[in-house]
């Protein structure tokens, strides 16, 4: 009488014999039966193939199951190190997508330990080692461990020496992303161009994917520098390449950064369209990290439109996800944005508490990326409390850091706040200088929402200067912009002033950050 194991072996072998031309449809079944038959080598092969197929269609939970089973089977198969490497690397990749970073790192470390054992040539070993170093760095970047990330990237570059390969391009592009998050925009552009130069030497799908990655990273960096037109140009080019090579995950990244470009231009419907298209893809592929990014960005759209409840709802949703993922960078940014909501509502103690926590967290991870904005919001909070000297100190810090990082949009917004401080101190000449310079910068950048807010401040200043006709003209410009954009809270405040002639002490608005990350 046949045993259970022999029955399962017979079923597996029968499928192999009669369905040989369609085995891809039976990978899961074959893995199951050969596993129960204790045919460990075949079970390993079929679990590995099933895991890779599931991974390719973003069936992440199925991929995790099959890679785990492949690793278990491999423990019973002598000489299976090459297949173990594939299973550990595949499992690490999927766990990274799902946001299980610590476990993902464990499997990537296992893969790294196997590279030198299984590689058939020095070049193969070097390239696989460099790729694993880059993947490891990417996870440390997401965990806000930037020094550790760079150590892995440098290790990958040392291993590659002077080789021309797509792995080198990926390392430089990952390094550009880390520099960006630290606020080192010049270094980020330099590394991005190094990655792009290398990618252009690589023929085929991988080279095109790296070029598209470089393009959306350049768009991301230029958006931070206030070059929104170049942002949209780079990201649109990136999107076209990704769509051409049918890389939906890459296309989602381009959509996010296109959304950021349109957001800063004040075209919120287009920004929302791109965010939602990215969100659809990220949900489909199970990418938790970027679902949290998009929730944060959508919160910024609602905040600028004046819907504070909806904005806070998105921020809280995003914060919960980031706390699970453990990204100090994103948690710090959310405290900044939630502090801005509290500032809008007049909850100044809450606003200051949240903003100070944001400042401390960014300092903890040595990231100055959003520090100019945090200091500006701190200045606005102290301005609302009538603490003008403290407000001025924070605004000066913001301006210095924005100029050091060449962040023109942030400089324009900060100069507006400095104008508000000088107006509060009755230093109207200095206030006029800052507000007019703010307007010049923002008009140069074509940031419509920020232009509208500066016109509002100009109207208040002209009223204080006794220049009534100019005040009314500036106010009308602000109202027109707010109406066109759908910035309801700003519009209501400006129209209230127009109707009643009541001059609010300060306008409670500020730039709301879009989290612009890269992969």
What is the CATH number for 90? 1.25.40.10
Residue 73, pLDDT score: 95
| pLDDT averaged per 10 residues in sequence order, the chain, 519 residues | 69 75 80 88 93 93 96 94 96 96 96 88 89 96 95 93 88 96 93 95 94 95 88 96 96 95 92 96 94 96 95 96 93 96 96 98 94 97 96 97 94 98 96 97 94 96 94 96 94 86 45 50
- Of the candidates 223, 217, 263, 221, the one whose C-alpha atom is nearest the C-alpha of residue 237 is 217
Q: With 0-12 CB in 10 A as exposed, 13-18 as middle and 19+ as buried, what is 386?
A: exposed
Question: Is residue 59 situated within a structural domain?
Answer: yes
C-alpha–C-alpha distance, residues 139 and 368, integer Å? 20
**Domain range for residue 82?**
1-118
Which are the contacts of 278, defined by CB distance < 8 A and separation ≥ 6?
252, 253, 255, 256, 259, 290, 294
DSSP-assigned letters across all residues of 169-201: HHHHHHHHHHHHHTT-HHHHHHHHHHHHHHHTT
- Please tell me what DSSP assigns to residue 475: H
- Residue 247 domain-assigned (yes or no): no
Inter-residue contact 60 to 97 (CB < 8 Å)? yes
Domain membership of residue 13 (yes or no) is: yes
DSSP characters for 445-467? Answer: HT-HHHHHHHHHHHHHHHHHTT-
Instruction: Decide if 447 is inside a domain.
Output: no
Residue 112 in any domain: the answer is yes
Question: Is the residue at 357 inside a domain?
Answer: no
Task: Kindly report the backbone phi and psi dihedral angles of residue 80, in degrees, each rounded to the nearest multiple of 5, phi listed first.
Answer: -100, 20
pLDDT of residue 4: 67
Q: Which helix (H) or strand (E) holds 103?
A: helix 101-118
Provide the phi-psi class of 326: left if phi over 0, else alpha when psi is between -120 and 50, else beta. left
Asked if residues 70 and 48 have their Cβ atoms less than 8 Å apart, the reply is yes
Give domain status of residue 37, yes or no. Answer: yes
At residue 117, the pLDDT reads: 87
Total number of domains in the chain: 1
Residue 401 included in any domain:
no
Give the global pTM.
Answer: 0.87
């Amino acid at each position: 009488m046949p045993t259970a194991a022999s029955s399962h072996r017979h079923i597996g072998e029968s499928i192999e014999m009669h369905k040989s031309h369609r085995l891809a449809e039976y990978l899961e079944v074959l893995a199951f039966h050969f596993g129960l038959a204790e045919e460990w080598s075949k079970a390993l092969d079929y679990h590995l193939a099933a895991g890779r197929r599931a991974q390719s269609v973003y069936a992440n939970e199925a991929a995790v199951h099959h890679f785990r089973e492949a690793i278990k089977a491999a423990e019973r198969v002598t000489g299976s190190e090459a297949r173990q490497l594939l299973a550990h690397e595949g499992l690490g990749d999927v766990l990274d997508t799902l946001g299980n970073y610590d476990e993902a790192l464990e499997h990537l470390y296992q893969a790294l330990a196997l590279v030198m054992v299984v590689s058939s040539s020095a070049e193969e070993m070097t390239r696989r080692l460099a790729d694993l170093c880059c993947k490891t760095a990417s996870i440390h970047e997401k965990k806000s461990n930037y020094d550790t990330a760079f150590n892995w990237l440098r290790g990958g570059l040392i291993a590659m020496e002077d080789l021309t390969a797509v792995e080198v391009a990926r390392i430089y592009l990952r390094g550009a992303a880390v520099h960006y998050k630290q606020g080192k925009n010049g270094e980020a552009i330099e590394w991005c161009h190094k990655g792009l130069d290398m990618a252009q030497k690589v023929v085929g799908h991988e080279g095109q994917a790296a070029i598209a990655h470089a393009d959306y990273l350049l768009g991301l960096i230029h958006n931070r520098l206030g070059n929104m037109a170049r942002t949209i140009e780079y990201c649109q080019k990136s999107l076209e390449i990704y769509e051409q090579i049918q890389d939906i995950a890459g296309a989602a990244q381009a959509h996010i950064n296109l959304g950021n470009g349109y957001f800063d231009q004040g075209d919120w419907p287009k920004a929302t369209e791109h965010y939602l298209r990215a969100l659809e893809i990220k949900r489909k592929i199970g990418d938790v990290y970027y679902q949290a990014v998009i929730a944060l960005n959508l919160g910024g759209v609602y905040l600028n439109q004046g819907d504070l409840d909806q904005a806070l709802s998105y921020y809280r949703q995003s914060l919960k996800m980031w706390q699970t993922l453990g990204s100090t960078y994103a948690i710090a940014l959310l405290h900044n944005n939630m502090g801005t909501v509290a500032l809008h509502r007049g909850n100044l103690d809450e606003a200051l508490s949240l903003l100070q926590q944001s400042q401390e967290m960014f300092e903890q991870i040595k990231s100055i990326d959003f520090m100019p904005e945090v200091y500006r919001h701190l200045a606005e909070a102290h301005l609302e409390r009538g603490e003008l000297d403290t407000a001025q100190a924070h605004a000066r810090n913001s301006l210095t850091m924005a100029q050091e990082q060449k962040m023109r949009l942030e400089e324009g917004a900060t100069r507006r706040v400095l104008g508000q401080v000088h107006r509060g101190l009755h230093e109207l000449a200095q206030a006029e200088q800052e507000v007019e310079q703010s307007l010049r910068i923002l008009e140069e950048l074509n940031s419509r929402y920020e232009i509208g807010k500066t016109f509002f401040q100009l109207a208040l200043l002209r009223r204080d200067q006794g220049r009534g006709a100019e005040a009314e003209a500036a106010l009308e410009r602000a109202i027109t912009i707010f109406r066109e954009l759908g910035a309801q809270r700003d519009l209501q405040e400006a129209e209230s002033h127009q109707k009643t002639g009541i001059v609010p002490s300060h306008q409670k608005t500020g730039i709301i950050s879009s989290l612009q990350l890269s992969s």
